[in-house]
Structure 1
Amino acid sequence: MILLAAAGGMLFGLGFIFLNYRSITEYEDYDFTALKSIPIENDFKSNSISEASAASTSNLNFKDVRIQTYTISLFTSAKNAKVTVREAGHGSYHILLLHGHKYSSQIWQKLGTLQYLSKWGYRAVAVDMPKRENRTTTMDDDQEAIRWMGSLIKNLRLSNLVIISPCLSGDFALPYIFQLPKNQKLVRAFVAIAPNGTERFANDDYRQLTIPTLIVHAEHDSVFQPAYELLIQIPNSEVLFMIGAGHNSYVDAPVFFHDGLRKFLHNVSRLA
């Protein structure tokens, strides 16, 4: 059951989506490999946002989705740093998928997110973030994170961009988003999944942010509560509340995460 309440009748006013789903323990043996793509001759193509983006996540056939895996070079403070990229789909809207500390870009393929986004008519790009196991840059401050994100976006030729940022990746995504001018058209929307680094920005920073934002808030993620209190001050924000889920809620309940994401992206594309 999904309930959406929007304040003042505004489409992107502060809203709540409540999700009821099976307990997390039922996903412990979830076979992620069942969602791996089957390469074919041509990728799924779309010149605009498909009507499929307004449809249910169920009954989608992934057999015609091809996921390309390749590396790019980023020139920041680390010389010729290599970053692994997984990409699927075509479309005028580009979705950049970052990841948390426990995972890599592969999580978005295992969950089927790259495949769903491709079928919905988007170009989806997942990248490996710098961390202990695959550090691609020396992260000294916010300016370093901004340079890394800027180089990544330029290298991948991303535009009409939606950034999806869980956990660790908030240390990159938030500084980059907050330094953008208010009238910018590069980043169209932001999906915040318990991102790191929220405390480094003031209340007024959040109140002045004009980017439509989906805040994914898990019921059993008490550590995220202070960050949540900051993020909900974003005027064009709504909340995807995941009942029973923990910190990695999108992994705990991928079906419901994808359904909430699909509706949010569809609304963003319609308002552009």
Structure 2
Amino acid sequence: MICDKKTSTMGSPVPMRFYAAAVIAAVAISFIGYNYMPNDNDTNLTKYKASIRDKLPEEMTDEELENLDPFQFLPPESEIKAAEMEQRKLMEFIGNEKKSISEMTRIIRDDLNTKDGKCKAPSGKFISEQCAHIEEKAYREIAGVNLFFITTECSDSLKNGKPWVIFLHGAKFSSQNWIDINFLRMTAKMGFNNIALDLPGYGKTGSGGNPVPDSDFIEAVVAHFQLDKYIVVTPSMSGKYGMPLLKKNKKDVAAFVAVAPVNTDMIDNAQSITTPTLVIVGENDKQLGTTSIEHLSKLKSPKVVKVKEAGHPCYLDQPKVFMREFFEFLLCDVKY
């Protein structure tokens, strides 16, 4: 026979069903919170889980249990909606499984292949191959810096006539952001092997050593990895490394993707630069986005794109749109 009452340490009988309700509520709330929040590193999720532990004490009076409102432990509705929307926005386009990556890559490929044969997108067989794993996460001593990098490969891209892509990052980010949206794997499946760097003093790369000037750093990386042809993707802060490269108008730079970078005002030879350049910014980025278009639209033949409903990190705000524009530029507009 199951008793339905329990005596608390205060001496007053507490109906067992209230304890059961409290436990069930805690588990349910924890589950709801976990699914609403994007990831375990999210600050709101961390605070939220802590609040559940703190607000369900071991000893509760009858009155406290009677008045227990399980929804008091949820984050504000605005936070829930924002987190849910962000998660849905990413997951509706980007999956975590290899199959999802292949499917999403194929969607873009099929879309590009409707452009009258202008684009050189990979075959369905190539996309379906079980490749594009993160091949290496490692450190290399380059230009006096213990540089952390990630390489993602699908094949010998040079045999396909496609150069490597070098992904840089903004001040608040690192190479991990490109992994989080599965961009490195999708780029490899499109035929472009790639390297994502943690720039000196950011992410997992230390700031010690005696590095070369910022303006020469990418060239030092290129020399280390012996890349004959390469494409540079430079968002925000990384412009101090990327923009000098564009200004030099080097022949081994097959293409350049400027994602609202800093230092665009240094380009004083715009009409002499022949490097194919994509200038892509969020339409709501009124600072670096605006100045990027102002300065880089003076290049000889840039492609300028404003991503709707996106701010400064437009590749995170609207990954689907960014990927579509990025791959159209690389596969349809640039001649290798």
TM-score, normalised via structure 1 length: 0.72
Aligned to 1:173: 242
Does structure 2 retain, via aligned residues, the 8 Å contact 1:161–1:188? yes
Aligned to 2:3: none
Deviations 1:171-212 (A, max 9, x none): 10111222244xx2x11110000001112332xx22221111
Deviation of the 1:64 alpha carbon: 4.1
Does structure 1 retain, via aligned residues, the 8 Å contact 2:232–2:255? yes
Picking from 69, 76, 80, the partner of 2:136 is: 69
Alignment of 1:28-107 (within 5 A): 28-30=86-88, 35-36=95-96, 54-56=109-111, 64-76=131-143, 78=144, 80-90=145-155, 91-92=157-158, 93=162, 94-107=164-177
Say if 1:27 and 1:163 are closer, same or farther in 2 by CA, change over 3 A: farther
Larger Rg: 1 or 2? 2
Q: In 1, distance between residues paired with 2:153 and 2:225?
A: 13
Aligned to 1:110: 180
Picking from 286, 289, 297, the partner of 1:222 is: 286
- Secondary structure of the structure 1 residue equivalent to 2:213: helix
Task: Give identity over the alignment, percent.
Answer: 21
RMSD over aligned Cα, in angstroms?
3.4
Equivalent residue letter for 2:274: T
Deviation of the 1:98 alpha carbon: 0.9
Aligned to 2:318: 253
Name the one with the larger strand percent. 1
Structure 2 runs not aligned, ≥5 long: 1-81, 113-123
Deviation of the 1:100 alpha carbon: 1.0
Aligned to 2:195: 125
Say if 1:177 and 1:74 are closer, same or farther in 2 by CA, change over 3 A: farther
Question: Which gives a bigger RCO, structure 1 or 2 (Cα 8 Å, sep 6+)?
Answer: 1
Aligned to 2:273: 209
Q: In 2, distance between residues paired with 1:140 and 1:244?
A: 41
Does structure 2 retain, via aligned residues, the 8 Å contact 1:192–1:214? yes
- Secondary structure of the structure 1 residue equivalent to 2:133: coil
Does structure 1 retain, via aligned residues, the 8 Å contact 2:131–2:154? no
Name the one with the larger helix percent. 2
- Secondary structure of the structure 1 residue equivalent to 2:281: strand
Aligned to 1:15: none
Say if 1:236 and 1:173 are closer, same or farther in 2 by CA, change over 3 A: same
Equivalent residue letter for 2:213: E
Alignment of 1:186-205 (within 5 A): 186-202=252-268, 205=269
Does structure 2 retain, via aligned residues, the 8 Å contact 1:188–1:268? no
Q: In 2, distance between residues paired with 1:134 and 1:66?
A: 20
Aligned to 2:230: 161
Does structure 2 retain, via aligned residues, the 8 Å contact 1:67–1:88? yes
Q: In 1, distance between residues paired with 2:209 and 2:308?
A: 34
Does structure 2 retain, via aligned residues, the 8 Å contact 1:37–1:115? no
Equivalent residue letter for 2:316: V
TM-score, normalised via structure 2 length: 0.59
